[in-house]
Amino acid sequence: MRVRSCFKLFLILAMLIWINAMMSVWGWAQNFNPVGNVKKCLTCHSELKKEFSKKIIHKPFKDLKCTYCHNPHAAKHGHLLKEDVGILCTRCHKNERQTIKMRGYFHPPFKEGQCLKCHNPHASSSSHLLKAQGERLCFACHVKKQFTKKYQHIPVKNGRCLSCHDVHRSEHESLLKREPKILCMSCHSYSYARLQKIHFGYPVQNKDCTSCHNPHSTKRRHLIRPILHKPFEKRQCTTCHKRPQFKTVALKKNSASICFQCHPDKRKDFYKINSHIGSGVFCLNCHDPHASNAKKLEKQNEAKNCFHCHEDSERDFFNKTNKYKHPLVKEGKCSVCHSPHGSNYRLFFEGGDIKMCTRCHKRQARFTHPIGKDAIDPRSKRAISCITCHELMGTPYQFSLRFDRKKDLCIQCHKGY
């Protein structure tokens, strides 16, 4: 009995000691003030001292909690950051962490976690720690020339990009705050009757204004896009449309024959083995019938036009691991190699694989690894061509090779080396 009491007493004492020890540790952790240590950072990084004079200061920096983001000894990331910038920022900025998981359209730097393209991590004179105020920030990446043509949209002129665009993510293309037609009408609140009158009697109230009007700037009055479809330029609406009716903008025919009546040579382009033919006025899948920024009246720039249906090509295009791409792929010029209407060659090429490449790569036409019908790939038993070894859409290997040329490429076929 006595032994048991002693044992109980010992247990209680041990527990008390343990609790006391834990509380001490907790207290030390609570009272731990890194400022004393971190102040040492500023002794060397004295250039940061002037950051404290700025209007907006990042909270951890203000509190001198440098170790929130930086490792004072060693790190895998630049500037001794503890993690990649995107991950590091979203550790505290939880709303952004949620936003990036959502579906929709994203500002590429936000999606790629390049927060520092727009934000200063320590302090800034602009709100939200932005590197610059208003349009000056946007023009750091977006070519200013496109926004400063003769006729400018008022918000653009005043540098208020955020009147129409969201910064990180949007439900609508081009990061628009709302659906284009609703967004436009929120300022341009014309009556339907007036809108109809302006547009030669056609009821355009439910149409997307940006299909004809450039929302930024153009050289044409009323912000009309620069390249015009001939009938539109001549105001010959009835070439394609029925006469204006009360509620609809009706076409004379709901088929591509409406286009082929003026462009008859294009019809045969579609009647090939591989074809981008579709139903209705399928030309409008890619082309704008009124006005466009592009020479051939494409709706968007070439690559964007293609990615509209070729979603997986878009993913490959933006895949960071495929860093070696053909220069034309990088520029988004799909139609130099692929025929956009139709083709009798594989992958919508405009000619045979080899012919296509040697149009530009003339030296390789004369001197190269054996290619052509007499050089047979032992794996597939088909003739070797340029794309046997190269994947032009992008690979992790130099020269857009399918495998590393220092080890894996050659031994695909040349076994035993």
Which spans of this chain sit near another protein (rule: CB under 8 A)?
253-257, 267, 270-273, 275, 277-280, 282, 309-312, 315, 344-347, 373, 377, 379-383, 412
Tokens for 415, please give them. 């076994």
Comparing CB distances to another protein, the nearer of 383 and 392 is 383
Residue pointed to by tokens 């004295």 = 46
Minimum distance from residue 255 beta carbon to another protein (Å): 4
Residues 281/256, Cβ–Cβ less than 8 Å = yes
Nearer to another protein, 112 or 377 (CB): 377
Measured from the CB atom, is 83 or 269 closer to another protein? 269
Minimum distance from residue 139 beta carbon to another protein (Å): 34
Angstrom distance (rounded) from CA 380 to CA 398: 24
Pick 218 or 388: Cβ nearer another protein: 388
**The tokens of 204 are what?**
């355009």
Residue among 194 and 304 whose Cβ is closer to another protein: 304
Q: Quote the least distance from Cβ 311 to another protein, whole Å.
A: 6
Q: How far is the CB of 394 from another protein (least distance, A)?
A: 14
Other C-beta atoms within 10 Å of 143: how many? 8
Q: Decide: 34 and 65 in contact? Cβ < 8 Å.
A: yes
Nearest to another protein of 12, 347 (CB atom): 347
Q: What minimum distance in Å lies between the beta carbon of 319 and another protein?
A: 11
- Smallest distance from the beta carbon of 279 to another protein, in angstroms? 4
Q: What is the DSSP string of 278-340?
A: -SSSGGGGTB-SSEESSTT-BSS-HHHHHHTT-HHHHHHHH-TT--B--HHHHTT-GGGTB-S
Measured CA angle at 337 (ends 332, 342), to 5 deg: 110
Nearer to another protein, 407 or 415 (CB): 415
What is the 3-state composition of the chain as percent helix, strand, coil, each rounded to the nearest 5?
A: 45, 10, 45
Strands (E) in 54-181, as ranges, are 56-57, 105-106, 123-124, 151-152, 169-170
Beta carbons within 10 angstroms of residue 115's beta carbon: 20
Dist CA 120 CA 353 (whole Å): 48
Least distance to another protein, CB of residue 17, Å: 23
Least distance from another protein to the Cβ atom of residue 260, Å: 9
Measured distance CA(362)–CA(145) in Å, rounded: 36
Long-range contact set of residues 138-143: C-beta below 8 Å, sequence gap at least 24: 141/109, 141/117
Quote the Cα angle for 146-106-308, to 5°: 75
Cα 207 to chain centroid, rounded: 26
b/e map of 25-50 (b: 16 or more CB within 10 Å)?
eeeeeeeeeeeeebeebeeeeeeeee
Q: Which is nearer to another protein, 163 or 255 (CB)?
A: 255
Determine the Cα–Cα distance for residues 216 and 185; give it in Å rounded to an integer: 16
Question: Closer to another protein at the Cβ: 115 or 384?
Answer: 384
Quick check: 241 and 251 in contact, CB under 8 A?
yes
CB nearer to another protein: give 203 or 278.
Answer: 278
Shortest spacing between CB 381 and another protein, in angstroms: 4
Smallest distance from another protein to CB 4, Å: 15
